[in-house]
Structure 1
């Protein structure tokens, strides 16, 4: 790929038709206080000039490497990047987001200080076009995480599970990813990837500071809804169970999250033409996990009764959502 010594960190940036966002992302990488890295920009068949932007950065900086491919999706892009990495540590950054100048430095210092399997930072959602003033000379607190904590974190509270689920706010020891790849799906590919990775983890560490800036684009996949996206989310949540020990606390967290996905999916498609297909898949998954859910000693009787009530009486869930939204508006 190049004649430079192997870098310490390999950064994988999937790129697809994001020419208005990509320069800010790549400039934020150029500005890092930690400089021993390579950037693998995977152009996924862009048609808007994003690929040419990647080439411009490759010409200016030998650390930036452009890889072009036919359009195959973000999972294939990341997998192609993983096949070409040379670094001891691996980071993923989405091409429409950007990072704090110290993010790589603090992730690297954290993972090295205790020989952790991965380090992660917190993230901040920012509006499209919003300007962020970077805090200088950050010295954040560090929080050590056990294997149980990181797996349960994947299925925790909504703001927490996003932090654990995402691959783009982490620095992984490359040995963790030797035989792990992303599944080529349209939604929640990070969740399935990380639940497999976390199964290999002994301990990790969190840098308690918002250093990754997640840009909220109305046109992104995370803001769209389709039959395939919704069914993919259901299937991924169910597939996670195969990586968890039967009867464990982690399994209980996963099943609880799975039922929340089932309820929210059914509620979201109530007015859609493809409602029947989604409902069919929801019923199939419920049949597969219901007994397992009810037998779990780590799920309280209250939640078992509540969730079965939500499942067999959708009106109860509708009322619950209404009350939750009302409470949020009053807060």
Structure 2
């Protein structure tokens, strides 16, 4: 049985695949399995995956019809056999010491999960390390793990940062035993905007000991074709579905709504601000931009956020929220243009 199963969904990433797979094949932790999930990729990725499998017995390949990132990860989970499971996006790569350090940390401290830091790699290949803790940090009570989960969703409204800990699953290893026992799966990003946060909620609500280490091992690379980095007109509906899904999940877990409601509201508002920025920077015509922003401002969802403490948030965010509440689409577009400049 391998120590770690690394699941890599693959779709239309031919120019990045070698970089990703070489970082996995050269891991100092050799006892791993690498599960390549070809999600109906239209380029040469399917044949490249098969070629890699012939070279290294640790590689397993799944070819399937395209169904999206979340379901591709689920296909990998179905055949994973490792003690722990990890996820890597195929346009990113990892430090060769990543899984050795994460696995040893988990083993030495009897952990269900270990999260590490990351490196943002921009279009010019500049690398910016990001660490969320300054030293090994243990969370070993239900209350502490609940706090980590809430801090993944969003910080308190008064905080200038959106969240304390990244919700992304790719900078961690997860206990496969917990995943299997609780039948934890990914939702489809084609229906909900972010499949990772639902996975984190389902997983962390069943974990008993987790830790975060400061080492920046994961390299998150700018890719202009990535789903999370491009403008999509359907974002609002997916954002609303995700907002409702998180509310339902935390309510089912018995969390106190007075603790989590403002955080989920901030989570939703953060996605809206990101969406507004993408609309403002897109190359669609101004009339279309205006129409999209007006639709966002006029959506009934804002009635659900009426209690959000706008006076507590930083001034720049106050201004954006006030413009949204008063449906000032033109002013919003002008403001984002000013911010960009």
TM range (shorter): 0.7 to 0.9
Aligned residue runs from structure 1 range 283-294, under 5 A: 283-290=299-306, 293=307
SS in 2 for 1:165: coil
TM-align CA RMSD: 3.5
1:32 to 2, 27, 35: 27
2:151 to 148, 153, 165: 153
Q: Greater CA deviation, 103-112 or 245-254?
A: 245-254
CA distance in 2, matches of 1:86, 1:221: 29
Look up the match of 2:138: 144
Look up the match of 1:193: 199
Look up the match of 2:54: 59
Query: Alpha-carbon deviation of 1:300?
Result: 8.2
> Can you list the C-alpha shifts for 1:78-104, whole angstroms capped at 9, x where unaligned?
011111111111000111111001100
2:237 to 231, 236, 245: 231
SS in 1 for 2:62: strand
- Name structure 1 gaps, 5 residues minimum: 1-5, 135-139
CA distance in 1, matches of 2:212, 2:224: 29
Q: Is the 8 A contact 2:92 2:221 kept in 1?
A: yes
> Can you list the C-alpha shifts for 1:152-200, whole angstroms capped at 9, x where unaligned?
2212379774952111111001133221211112331112222222222
Does 1:94 pair with 2:94? no
Aligned residue runs from structure 1 range 79-90, under 5 A: 79-90=74-85
> Can you list the C-alpha shifts for 1:106-164, whole angstroms capped at 9, x where unaligned?
111222222222111111111357387x9xxxxx8312233133212212379774952
- Name structure 2 gaps, 5 residues minimum: 281-285
Q: When the two structures are superposed, what TM-score results if normalisation uses the length of structure 2?
A: 0.79
CA distance in 2, matches of 1:231, 1:276: 12
Q: Is the 8 A contact 2:34 2:58 kept in 1?
A: yes
Q: When the two structures are superposed, what TM-score results if normalisation uses the length of structure 1?
A: 0.81
Does 1:183 pair with 2:190? no
- TM-aligned CA distance change 1:89 to 1:159, over 3 Å: farther
SS in 2 for 1:151: helix
Does 1:312 pair with 2:325? yes
Aligned length: 312
Q: Is the 8 A contact 1:150 1:164 kept in 2?
A: no
Does 1:257 pair with 2:256? no
SS in 2 for 1:206: strand
